[in-house]
Structure formats: C-alpha cells, structure tokens
Amino acid sequence: MSGDPEPRYVLHRVTPSEWVINDRRYEASDPRHVVASVYEYADTEVEVVWLRDLPLAVRYTTPYEVLEEVTRVQDSSRSTRPIPIPHLPPLLAT
C-alpha cells in the first residue's frame, strides 16, 4: 500500500469473518462507497464479492491482500509520461 496519510481505500471488519472495502472518495450514503465484500472462506482463504467492475480475482489469502490489490489497480497513475510518436517530415510536393 502507499504511504498516504489518508488512503483512498480502507478495510473495515463487519463480523469476525466478513469485511468490506470502502472508497473514501464517496460518502457513506453513496452506493459507490463500498467496493467489495470479503468473506472468510477457509482459515487461509477469503472470497470476494466485487461491487464494482474490476478485473480481479475472487479468492485471496487474506483480506489485506484484497485491499492491496484494489489499491494497486485503482490508484495506479492514470497519467503517464507522453509516449513518443515518431514523426516523419512532410512529403515534398512535386
């Protein structure tokens, strides 16, 4: 996870075997606030119900791994350095 003092995504435990991942960009009353529900599937496995269209797996080792994956995918910088495009000189008119 990033070292941000206020991370965008947070993991909240709801019950001893259930967590939700919240997106702090949205208010709690906004349906986009909850990104995923995470359920303990086994002692070493959790299952995720995605509430957003994310290209991520449905099973992970821990809820923290799910949070890291959401943060990595959603917070990856969308602004990258420009990609150089080779330019050719204009054609000479004959």
Domain ranges of the chain: 9-66
At 64, is the secondary structure helix, strand, or coil? helix
Each residue's pLDDT expressed in tens, for the chain with a length of 94 residues: 455 578 999 999 999 999 999 999 999 999 999 999 999 988 899 999 999 988 899 999 999 999 999 999 876 655 566 777 777 777 777 6
In SS3 terms, 21-50 reads as EEECCCCCCCHHHEEEEEEEEECCEEEEEE
pLDDT at 3: 57
Cα gap 94→84, rounded to integer Å: 30
Per-residue confidence (pLDDT) for residue 14, from 0 to 100: 96
pLDDT at position 80 = 63
